[in-house]
Amino acid sequence: MKYFDFELCGVKRKLPYVEVADGVVLASFVCLSDTELVTAAAPELLKRLPEVDYLMTAEAKGISLTYELSRLLGMREFIVARKSRKPYMQNPVSHTLRSITTQKEQTLWLDGCDAEKIRGKRVALIDDVIATGESLAALENLALAAGAKIEARAALLAELESVNRKDIIYLKEHYVFRPMPDGTYEPVSSI
């Protein structure tokens, strides 16, 4: 297996190259269970965030980052949009998306109780990586449907066209690759 040498906030990792679609290869970045990386990077991302009332993320790899940010901010809780409708949800709000990493259509659900919490509140949307922006857009649509005020869109990494977006906060550019005939990988800026 081939690896991409990666560093963020002094933490080094060897990320495996993973083909996620025909001719599209990612250096697979997974921060979900990486306590060392999340605790090193969260304070740096926090320095760039505006003041907010809530942090919101999708039920995905951004959960551990959002937890650590909320802990550093002294927040009692953060909001998680779920990937399936749960029986306990009352008056849920939903939005359907297609993400580069899931490769299929999925729906995010926000419990009506959580929607009430963020109504009229300043919210920062948090993710691990922003690539095409589909996941972020779905999260934003949920927050807006609940009446939240979006103050920030933030992630550890940005890929593809998201690198040039002025409306997101991120710590580092990450790459998407295409496989070359000689077995190497070449970074691409769009897919």
For residue range 150-183, list pLDDT tens digits in order: 999 999 999 989 999 999 999 999 989 999 999 8
pLDDT surpassing 60 at residue 101:
no
What residue spans define the domains of the chain?
Answer: 31-172
Q: How many CA atoms lie within 13 A of 52 on its CB side?
A: 31
- The model's pTM is 0.90
Cα-flanking dihedrals φ and ψ of residue 14, to 5°?
-105, 110
Q: What is the pLDDT of residue 93?
A: 83
Average pLDDT over residues 102-129: 90
Q: How many CA atoms lie within 13 A of 88 on its CB side?
A: 3
Tell me how long the chain is. 191
Q: Are 128 and 143 in contact (CB under 8 A)?
A: no
> Which CATH number among 3.40.50.2020, 1.25.40.10, 3.30.420.40, 3.90.45.10 corresponds to the domain 31-172?
3.40.50.2020
Mean pLDDT, all residues of the chain: 91
Q: How far apart are CA 167 and CA 151, in angstroms?
A: 10
Point out which residues pair with 25 in neighbouring strands: 19, 177
Task: Give tens-digit pLDDT for 12-65.
Answer: 999 999 998 888 999 999 999 999 999 999 999 999 999 999 999 998 899 999
Q: Are 38 and 68 in contact (CB under 8 A)?
A: yes
What percent of the chain shows pLDDT beyond 90? 69
